Structure 1
Amino acid sequence: MKISMYTVENAIKPYIIEKTLRSDAAMMIESALFLDSETELYRADCLYVCLSKHLPIPILIPDKTNIICLGKPSAYAVEAYAHINLILVSDDINLKKFFNTILGTLEKYTMWEEKLDCLLKNHASLQEFLDLGAVIFKEPMCLLDYHHNVLATTSMIDSQDDDFWTYLKKGYINNSPEIISHKQDKFNDIVDARSPVAMISSISGKYKLISAIYVDNKPIAFLAMIHSTKDKNNPFDIYVQQLFNFFVNSITQRLHQSALTSKNKQLADEKQNGAIQSNFNIPGLDLTQILKYFDFKAGKQFQIALFQFNEPQKKPDHVIEISYTIEAAIPYSKCVLSGELFIAVIDLQYHAYLPKAVAKRFIGILEKNDGYCVLSPVFHLSEELPHVLLQVSEVINFCMRLQPDTRLNHYHDYAVLHCLKALSENENMSYILHPMLRKLIDYDIKYGTDYYDTLKVYLKNNCSIAESAIIKHMHRNSFLYRIKRIKELLNNDLDDCDLRFKLLFSIYYLDCENIITNWVD
């Protein structure tokens, strides 16, 4: 990372006796050299360190040259050096040790740049970027999307006694009076500035340094850093603002990685304008647009991932993060935002199924954003898409209620339930009960036995006496005797696999009858 003379000034502040720094001193310094009487060529990206006796006369030094001088030369006039960046430090310090201090400063900022580059290379989460920012700035930071939803906040540093920060940590700021009453004017000012803006929070009284982040020349997010004190003067020194701007550029690159394609953005814009209409009873999903957008070709396999979130008004910008996770991990996969639903069509031509590593990343994002996902069956043709979408859209709310702790679900885990639900909408399901099971249930009611549940355990455990006895907490011989009595009562040895399947089907329906009855679409 290149640094500026304002960064150097902050690093050596205790030693400074006088200085003259240009207002346009930019982050250009990437090396340091000793300056002596033989130096003739000056580089703009270099910081020169010299003794007072070796400081050249002003006319010999090019504009914007960066120099640190140990001691104050005789006949020194500060205004004569106004065209360069010059810092005078005490001459009672060791030159070698002082030079090592300068090199250490350069090395520290280079290390931070390498860490940022590593995060970019590894497609790290926004949270990881902000946590590194907290190390660099030693101040709490947050990232909001353009609609003021919280994308991430620093996890290691909090803004003490700050109600505004409390809202941010909860993942939303819609209830903040500051945002309600002032957000439009303030955020418009930030967008128009095109550079970091310092402003005072009307809630906490603390300064915030905020910058808009642009992708394709459009503002999509805001990065903010909150000062830990209530300093009445702007506490963000020039070097902090320069470094913050560099950090903004890194976040911008990260969001560029995650940005939806122009076609994706077009679909999102059409959705906002009410252009996308409901098709196939799936709110907000325009299948015509989706079929145009995705490249369905013969020989390929596809899978749909349908996402839904419990509290969309509090959600972070899950679209960006999940889109990036999918599109970066799986070639030729695309994502579409439609209403409150968010879908990804995953091209499985290089995968037999969704890779476990990607599934693990899904689960982490879903847990953080209080969301759920259903993965569809694998399909091949675009003509299958409407039916597959219907399947997963009907199942997702059911998954959220039935297994709230399971974030990533597969349709095949609910396929039988879904089929039984469809059947129950057209048939009287009371007729589905096999007469043998009805006989056992009636017998249990009349004599207080437990034959139905015993048979259920027995059939579900592949007719294993040992395993079934353990589940029923019975001795093996006792369980074997009970099965013998059931076979006698039913006048059937239960050896026919087709019969066992029919019994299991009825048993499964009885297990799920209450669930299906209360299934609310």
Structure 2
Amino acid sequence: MKLSPAFLAYKLSSAFSVLALENLPLSGTLELPVLYQTGSAATAHRVFLCTEEQIGSLSSLPEESSSLFLLCTEELPEELPAPVSIAVKSSVSAVFSFLQELFWTYDSWQKELMQARLDGKSIQHLLNLSLPVFAHPLMVVGMDFSIIAAASEEPSFFPEKVFGSLDATRPLLLSLTESSEYASVRDLDGWFRFPDHVTGLGSLCVNITQHGQSSYRLLLLDTKKDLSDSEGFLLEFLAEMIHHAFLHNVMQKTSPAQSLHTVLLRALDDRMADYIAVSQALDALGWHSRHTYCCLYLQLSDMDQKNLTANSVCAYLENILTGCSAFPHGGGIVAFFNLTLSDFSMTDLMERMVHFVEDSSLNAGFSRCMNGHMNLRRQYIQAKIALQFGTRKYPDKRMHPFNDISFDYILDQATKKLPGYMLCHERLLFLQEHDDSSGSDYMRTLRCYLDNHCNVVQTARELFIHRSTLLYRLEKIKEILESDLSSPDEILYLMLSFRFIDLENEEENRSGSSQPEKHR
């Protein structure tokens, strides 16, 4: 394997005292070292070891920028004589043995990686082979931060510190996605260094492309604070092997006949599905992990009246909407939209769908937009919830985006096991009791006060009362609540409690039955 001048200087400095030119080339161009013979010509792309006695002979050589002259000496010179690029304080034999071992190590690594690819070994296997060579943790991640493969000498390193769903790792993901530096390297070719001030851990990285776009990233993590830029060309070679693995291990398994429907159905139906494999299959079909997706769920109950079939609806959606994959599922129709491929916004999509849904007398639920593949099943669940809950809550509407029903859904879920009056603020019930017994208007006053973000002037204006009257009422309210209404958590709890009471009243009005005893 060819090594770079900068890498040789970096490795030699770990064993010897070294003086080297600044800005030595970083690309791998040099082959096995040889001992320079006085009077011989310089061969391109070779490392020549020479002694101080041979300096005069070297000065008469024509400049050959693609070869490297390495001086072995008893004392390092103050400056390097031309054309020497590196001087080492050691004997020729010691340096020659060191370099031979170095080249042999990386030759062996190159051959092992290439053989592993011929044998169809996994990406994880490639990282395992490379870990001893780099002596730093390695990982391959998707652009949605899913970990494809990882290798470290510390088994617990990755779950604790890198790209997961743990609370400790969420700030890392947030800082990455909001970093302008992260955005600037997203589509870089070749190796690059990502700084530690963004994530707390620096790294050397190489983007891996599929279909002309960066789909994965190989990272070498700087856990020991000693990573050298001179290792970048080695990381590029490993990235080439990983790219080869993606091409031949993923794309062969995902034939053109394997449709988006098949892959998406696997994500929905198989709770034990390997989401990394699903993500790779979608990547191979052009639906990349960096794209933005949303899900639509259509109810089929009224289709017969319109002479519609599930297949005809699916075909219609896929024909009129670029980046759509629609298929029957679970008594309804599921449609995933790749908003990146279609170049739609969510608003555009809703406008395109509203007339079709209404003209067809269908009901539809929409999930939120999300990036990547890891939430496809959750988006499907969101869309079903939006349809089922939205139809029940707002029967006069046919389109139900999840964002429109999410708060009502939270309240509904909260009251599944306990009625609203048992969940709301206990002292608020006492306030209601006081209104009922004394004819006061404290509940309405408090609600208006909270709705106006505790603004006294605005609240008094809406209630058509004097400011001093409002302040008097608030003091009485605080006495009953046994609170000064200064805690944000308590204010949130009180506002939720009013909604729970509203739900109780709505339920009472629907059922026409009397409520059970709510107060002590």
TM-score, structure 2 normalization = 0.47
TM-score, structure 1 normalization = 0.47
